[in-house]
Amino acid sequence: MSLPLKNKVALITGASRGLGAGMALTLASEGASVMLIYTSASSTPKVESLISEITSLPHTPLATSVRTDLSSPSAPSTILSALKSWLGESFALDILINNAGTELNAPLGTITTDDFAKVYDLNVRAPLLLTQALLPHLATRNARIINISSVGGRFGFPGLGLYCSSKAALESLTRCWARELGGNGTTVNCVAPGPVQSDMLDKIPKGIIEMQKRQTPVENRLGEVDEVAAIVAWLAGEKSSWVSGQVISASGGWAMY
């Protein structure tokens, strides 16, 4: 059995469902030990089931979870304490996946300051503060930081101004961090999925989803979680060592960068 991520430790935010859960399972299937970060108490049964599935894999990878509100500035310290309890004070994190995010359908004329804070606190501030807190604990060589954006980061959709602009901000942070952190082999990249079959589609206007399906060159269909997770796993491994500062569109050709 090939385990390209054996002995690696990965942290995935937004890992209770959809893309985050798929990424966690894929990384664990390739040998990584994983910490799953999630927010809602209602998601605890899903996370516990996912951990059971992961630890039941033939190579018995380690898995644990932390429930915390990533939109709170105190979340990074909660996660850091949990990592130290799990792996020891001098732990090294090999792979950080900033996946957690939120969407809000609000036309320009209706956006409030609370709306702005809700989207930007989770989609921009949270990955910044978490990555900052974990910097001293990233592996000294060849760490991987992978931010999850959206095709919306480069395209405008009616009513999704906050969401799209927040993802554009995350992509810009990706490029800046790649410049700052590459000296020891650390890479920082971004994956920008198009619509993927998951419950997150419920938050996207149906007209946008249908339009993207029709305009997707590959089979005029939505993506699957496993297809995006495979790209993330490749970026997390050693074979992507010469790729950094990039935004990879995982959209069946709908968005071509």
Torsion angles phi and psi, residue 77, rounded to 5: -70, -35
* Amino acid (1-letter code) at residue 153: G
Domains of the chain: 9-250 (3.40.50.720)
Q: Quick count: other Cβ atoms within 10 Å of Cβ 136?
A: 8
Report the pLDDT value the prediction gives residue 254, as an integer from 0 to 100.
93
The active-site residue, picked from 16, 38, 65, 163, is 163
Tell me the pLDDT of the chain averaged across its residues: 97
Q: Judge if pTM exceeds 0.75.
A: yes
Using CA atoms, how far apart are residues 19 and 154, in angstroms rounded to an integer? 20
Question: Under a CB-based contact definition with an 8 Å cutoff, are residues 218 and 249 in contact?
Answer: no
**Is 46 a catalytic site residue?**
no
pLDDT tens, 125-160?
A: 999 999 999 999 999 999 999 999 999 999 999 999
For residue 13, the SS3 value is strand
Report the pLDDT value the prediction gives residue 207, as an integer from 0 to 100.
87
Report the pLDDT value the prediction gives residue 200, as an integer from 0 to 100.
72
* Amino acid (1-letter code) at residue 57: L
The active-site residue, picked from 16, 33, 167, 251, is 167
**Is 167 a catalytic site residue?**
yes
Tell whether the model's pLDDT for residue 1 goes beyond 90.
no
Beta bridge partners of 248: 191
**Is 257 a catalytic site residue?**
no
Name residue, tokens 């209602």. Answer: 42
Using CA atoms, how far apart are residues 239 and 220, in angstroms rounded to an integer? 30
DSSP assignment, residue 93? B
Using CA atoms, how far apart are residues 16 and 129, in angstroms rounded to an integer? 21
Share of the chain above pLDDT 90, in %: 92
The active-site residue, picked from 65, 71, 149, 251, is 149
Report the pLDDT value the prediction gives residue 42, as an integer from 0 to 100.
97
- Kindly provide the b/e burial profile for residues 140-151, where b requires at least 16 CB atoms within 10 angstroms of the residue's own CB: eeebbbbbbbbb
pLDDT tens, 231-249?
A: 999 999 999 999 999 999 9
Tell whether the model's pLDDT for residue 202 goes beyond 90.
no
What would the two tokens of residue 135 be?
């910097």
Tell whether the model's pLDDT for residue 204 goes beyond 80.
no
Task: Over range 162-186, report the average pLDDT.
Answer: 99
**Is 150 a catalytic site residue?**
yes
Which of 248, 167, 226 shows the shortest CA–CA distance to 18?
226
The active-site residue, picked from 150, 165, 240, 249, is 150
Question: Under a CB-based contact definition with an 8 Å cutoff, are residues 129 and 73 in contact?
Answer: yes
Task: Over range 71-86, report the average pLDDT.
Answer: 98
Burial of residue 213, with CB atoms counted within 10 A of its CB: 0-12 exposed, 13-18 middle, 19 or more buried? middle
Using CA atoms, how far apart are residues 53 and 60, in angstroms rounded to an integer? 10
Half-sphere exposure of residue 205, counting CA atoms within 13 Å on the CB side? 13
Name residue, tokens 């970026």. Answer: 235
